Amino acid sequence: MPDAASTAELTLKDFSSDQDVRWCPGCGDYAILKAVQGVFPTLGIPKERFVIISGIGCSSRFPYYMETFGFHTIHGRAPALASGLKLSRPDLEVWVATGDGDAMSIGGNHLIHCLRRNVGLKILMFNNQIYGLTKGQYSPTSERGKKTASTPAGSLDNPFNPLTLALGAGATFVARGVDIFVPQLKAILGRAAEHDGAAYVEIYQNCNIFNDGAFTHVTDKENRKTQVLYLEHGEPMTFAEGSKGIVLDGLQPKVVDLEAGEATEDDLVVWDETDRNLAWLAANMLPPEFPTPVGVLRAVSEPSYESMVVEQIEGERERLGEGSLEGLLHRGDVWTVGEDGTVSEGVGSEGAAEADG
């Protein structure tokens, strides 16, 4: 349990390092940093138990700006190193800061298997749909036709959908936030922190230098009112200040106009964050046909990987007793191949039975 004396007086400043923040002026990363620094003091966890691990990219400078333990690793490998830390120290609160290039490209497999195993990491995936640190090349989440220095005639790639990737990997907590939607982003981060297992949060983050305005369909003031669907567990799926909603047409979502009488509130889909099928439908609701869902798409309770590892180790220790390094090194089947091709086969150092190779 947290030491009350070490957590009672924590504030945002306690999680702000003395390093100059070196993102471009106007970058969405500033808002995300302030949101995280604002949430951590509310969790009732001593500061020394937090660790921030990152890969490579603009977002991956995060550990420098957090007054916590941290590790700036190599491109795409943050989930792997963070998994190792969480398994060896399950008591630590391990957060991962990564970006769409870092996580969706070279780090894709690490991310997938971390989510599949349900390792208790909190993964913040900053999605600006561009490689910002290396000066504006298209990324795995860039839209088809994206013209950049590396694709002057337009990208031909189909973009990754980060949410469907996470859901397909079996993630037990999946959410989407927006950099400048600070109150809602902080609420999502709080939910992620409480989750026992892997929590994956995609955050729309504006890169005002190389991909400015990528999310204006969500962030413009008028679009916030008309084009954003805020997901609330147990509530009907409505947007545009309650004038429109989502119904199911067979197995497909459909937008209806409530004011025009196309449906009533009773006809609308009631959002259920434990329903994986609904999460999949929401993750695939793309503009301009649909509003953009923001909030928690999936939150279910399953044993975390590190808890199962600890349980397994304790069970084996109880069954076998305490072991030794010497016994481990000489345990199992070993073979020695002689110059004449004969194979000496045995177990440990207990001698060997001669066998014809």
pLDDT at 351 over 80: no
Structural domain contains residue 261: no
Asked if 158 and 77 sit in the same domain, the reply is: yes
* Measured CA distances, 8 to 42, 44, 237, 297 (Å): 9, 8, 38, 32
pLDDT of residue 309: 96
Structural domain contains residue 344: yes
Structural domain contains residue 317: no
pLDDT of residue 329: 78
Asked if 210 and 351 sit in the same domain, the reply is: no
Asked if 284 and 346 sit in the same domain, the reply is: no
Cα-flanking dihedrals φ and ψ of residue 210, to 5°? -110, -10
pLDDT of residue 206: 97
pLDDT of residue 317: 87
CB 118 within 8 A of CB 91: no
Structural domain contains residue 156: yes
Its domain, for residue 115, covers 4-235+271-306
Number of domains forming the structure of the chain: 2
Q: What is the pLDDT of residues 75-123, one digit of tens each?
A: 999 999 999 999 999 999 999 999 999 999 999 999 999 999 999 999 9
In eight-state DSSP terms, residue 195 is -
Asked if 288 and 346 sit in the same domain, the reply is: no
Distance CA 49, CA 91 (A): 7
Structural domain contains residue 315: no
Instruction: Please tell me the pTM assigned to this model.
Output: 0.89
Distance CA 95, CA 199 (A): 9
The CATH number of whichever domain residue 288 belongs to comes to 3.40.50.970
Q: What is the mean pLDDT of residues 196-201?
A: 98
Identify the residue with better confidence: 226 or 2. 226
Asked if 301 and 348 sit in the same domain, the reply is: no
Structural domain contains residue 240: no
Asked if 108 and 222 sit in the same domain, the reply is: yes
pLDDT of residue 348: 46
Asked if 343 and 204 sit in the same domain, the reply is: no
Q: Are strands 343-347 and 333-337 parallel, antiparallel or unpaired?
A: antiparallel
Please report where in the chains the tokens 């509130």 appear, as a residue: 265
HSE toward the beta carbon, residue 328, CA cutoff 13 A:
6
Structural domain contains residue 125: yes
Q: What is the pLDDT of residues 267-285, one digit of tens each?
A: 999 999 999 999 999 999 9
Strands (E), 84-158: 93-99, 122-127
